[in-house]
Amino acid sequence: MSNDNNPTKSGPEKESLDSSRKGSNRKTGSKKRGDSKTRGRSNNAVQRGRLNRPNAYQRQKNDVGMPPDLDLSIQEEITGGNFKLRGRKTQVSINHLLEFQLPEIERQREHISNKKASSRHSNSDQHAHLHGDSFINANYKLFVNDRADYREQSNDPNKLVPEEKIIRVVVPKGQNCPICLSEEPIAPRMITCGHIFCMSCLINFFSIEETIKNPETGYVKKKKYKECPLCGSIVRRERVKAVLFEDASIYKSHDKKPTPGSLTTLQLMCKPHGSVLALPVQLKLDPLQVGDFPPLTCKELEPYARIMKCDKEQSVRFFQEDAEAIETQNEIDKALYGGNNKYVKEALAEIDTQIATILSEEDYEDTTSMIKSMERLNIDLPSKYDDSTAYFFYQTFFQSSTKFFLSPMDVKILLTTFHNYSAFPETLHAMVENVYYGTIVTESFINRYKYIGHLPIGTEVALIDIDWRSVPSIPKEVYDQFAVELRQRRRKFNMKKQKEDKQKKIYEKMLEKEQAEFYRRENSNFPYQDDFEIVNSYNSIRSSPVVLDSLGPSETNLNEDETSNVSKKKSYKEKTIWGTSISVTPNDKIIKENQEFEEMLLKRMQQEDASSDTSRDEKTQGGSRNGKKGKKKGKIMLFSNNNHQFK
C-alpha cells in the first residue's frame, strides 16, 4: 500500500538529491577558500573600512528572528526620508537601476524653495535699499547744467545724473554742520552718503592725514581713503556736490502738510504718456511742450519739477553767493576768535577756479525761448489729453520729499461719480481722515499704479484718506454705494488710534516707573510704592477737568488751622549732591530741636568771645611790657542742620 503524502524520497531520487547537496557544499567550500585568499590581499581595504562587515542590526537579525514586514518598514523609512545613508557611494543616484523615485519629497522640496523665493521676492518688492547717489536722486531736487544731454534720465528716472553735470543739490533747511555745529552750513557741500558740511570744514576734514597701525608689527601706514564722521561711509573729495537750501517762498501759502482732521487742497495733475513731468491742470501748461526738465527761469514750475536746467549766469551766481557767505563768516570769526583760517582761503580759491571753468565753456543756445512767453503755452489739458493719452491724479504738499497722493479707494469714488479721470475737478477741498505713511515706490508698485512712473524707485509715498461727508460734490447714491467700505475704513483707523494711545500710556507709565526706581536707588529710604501712587494720583488730578481752586470751604473737611498746617508741611524739591531732585517734607519736632541747639551754640560762642576778649586785653598789656605780641587762636564751629526728612 503506497502513501503518496509521505515526503521521504527513496531510490534514484534520494541519490540525486544527495549528490546535489554535496556539489553545493563543494562550491561553498571553494568560495570560502577563495574569500580567505582574497582577505589576505586586501588588508589595506579592510583598514579603510571598504569591506561590508555585519553590523549589530544584521547580527541581531541572524540570531533572533525578525518580523516578516522588515522590507516594508525599510521602504517606508526611505520614502519618508528618515533612513539616512552615509558614505561617498551613497551620493550616487541608482534610481535608474531600481526604477524607484521620490516624487513626493521632490515636490515638497520644490514647494519649500518656491516659497522661500516668493518671500524673498515679496521682501524685495516692499523695500528699496538706497545709498549714495541713488538716495540723493530719490529724495532731493537737482539743478543741472543746461549744456548737457539728459535723454537717459528722460526715459528712465532711475538713471543717475553724472556728477560733473550737477550744479546744485536742493535740500530743505534745518541741517547743521557736524564739524563746526553751525545751525546753517556756510557754502554747504554734500558728500557721497548725503551728509552736509560747511565747505571750509570739509576742506579741513580732507586735509587731515589718518594713519593705520598694525597692532602686531607696529607698522604705521597712511590711510588711503576717508570715512564719513557720521555714518562711516567711504567718501572722496572729488565726489563732493554743491548744495542749495530750498526757498520756501516758491510754495503756496495754503500748501500745508496734510494731517488727520485738517483741511487740505489736492490739485489734479496731468502727466502725458512718455513724459516724466507732471503739472497741475490749472496751470494750463502742456508738459510735453515744456519738456521733461524745464529751465530754472520758470519759477512757477520749480515746485513740480524734480530736475531743472541751470544756465551759465545762474551757476556763476550760486558760486558768488557761496564766496560772499564764506567771507562774511570769516570776518565774524576773526572778530570773535582772531587768527587767520587757511582753509577759508583754500575754499575761496576753489570757488574762483570753478567760476573760471564755467565762464570758459562755450555759450549754449537758449532753446527755451518759448518758456519766456508763457501765454503761448496756455492750453486746456483735459480737452487735449484724455485717459488713453495721459494720467490724471491728485497730489498735494509738493514741498516735502514724501509725495502725497489720494488713496485708491477715494479715487474709485471719484471715478464712479465723474466716469473719467480727465473729468475730475481741478482742485479738491476736503477734510483729511487719515494719512498712511511708509509706502515705498517699487517696480511692483509702479506696475500697479502707473501714474507714479515718473518717480525714482525708493521714493516715499503717503496715501491720503478723505472724509467724504464734508465733500458736497459727491452724490448721495454714490456715497451710499461705498458707505460700508468707508465705515470699515473709519473703524480700522479708530481701532488703530486707540491701540496707539494705549501703547503710549503704557510707555509713559514705564518711564515713570523707571524714574521712581532710579530715585529709590539713589536714596535708600525712598518709598517707591507710595511715590508711584502719588504720581498716578497727581496725573489723574492734572487731567481732571474740575477746577480745584473753585471749591469752597463748605465742600472740604479741613478747618482753617488744618489747611494752614498742611500748607506749612507741604513738601518741596531739594537737590542732592548727585544733582537729582527729591521730595522733602519738614518735621516740626526736628525743626524745634535744631533751633534749640543753634541757640545754645550761639550763647556758647558769645560767652567764649567775651572771655577771649578779656584774655586778649590782658595778654596785649603784658606783651607790650615784655615786648611780645599775643597770638590769636582760631576756632572752627561746625553746624548740622537736619530740619527735614526725606520722602
Residue 644, beta-bridge partner list: 586
Q: How many CA atoms lie within 13 A of 575 on its CB side?
A: 3
Query: Any idea which of 12-26, 179-193, 409-423 has the lowest mean pLDDT?
Result: 12-26
Q: Residue 371 pLDDT > 70, yes or no? A: no
Look up residue 17 and give its DSSP letter: H
> What are the tens digits of pLDDT across the range 444-472?
999 999 999 999 999 999 999 999 988 88
**Residues 192 and 133: beta-carbon distance below 8 Å:** yes
Q: Residue 432 pLDDT > 90, yes or no? A: yes
Q: How confident is the model at residue 305 (pLDDT cuts 50, 70, 90)?
A: very high
Taking alpha carbons only, the member of 42, 57, 52, 50 closest to residue 88 is: 50
- Residue that the C-alpha cell 516624487 belongs to: 103
Between residues 309 and 338, the one the model is more confident about: 309
Asked if the structure places residue 343 within a domain, the reply is yes
Task: Give the SS3 label for residue 143.
Answer: strand
Q: What is the pLDDT averaged over residues 474-480?
A: 91
Task: Give the SS3 label for residue 517.
Answer: helix
Asked if the structure places residue 196 within a domain, the reply is yes
> What are the tens digits of pLDDT across the range 578-613?
656 666 666 777 778 888 888 888 888 888 777 766
Q: Residue 42 pLDDT > 50, yes or no? A: no
- Rounded CA separation 335/339 (Å): 9
Q: How confident is the model at residue 99 (pLDDT cuts 50, 70, 90)?
A: low
pLDDT at 346: 92
Asked if the structure places residue 345 within a domain, the reply is yes
Write 491-494 long-range contacts (CB < 8 A, 24+). 493/433, 493/434, 493/465
Asked if the structure places residue 563 within a domain, the reply is no
Q: CA torsion angle for 378, 383, 387, 392 (degrees, to 10)?
A: 40
Asked if the structure places residue 479 within a domain, the reply is no
Q: Residue 391 pLDDT > 90, yes or no? A: yes
Q: How confident is the model at residue 197 (pLDDT cuts 50, 70, 90)?
A: very high
Task: Give the SS3 label for residue 527.
Answer: coil
Asked if the structure places residue 351 within a domain, the reply is yes
With b meaning 16 or more CB within 10 Å and e meaning fewer, what string describes 202-227? bbbbeeeeeeeeeeeeeeeeeeeebe
Q: How many CA atoms lie within 13 A of 175 on its CB side?
A: 21
The whole domain housing 367 covers: 127-171+174-245+292-376
Percentage of the residues of the chain whose pLDDT score is greater than 70: 62
With b meaning 16 or more CB within 10 Å and e meaning fewer, what string describes 228-248? beeeeeebeeeebbbbbbbee
Query: Any idea which of 24-33, 242-251, 398-407, 473-482 has the lowest mean pLDDT?
Result: 24-33
Asked if the structure places residue 240 within a domain, the reply is yes
Residue 282, beta-bridge partner list: none
pLDDT at 223: 82
Number of domains, the chain:
1
pLDDT at 354: 92
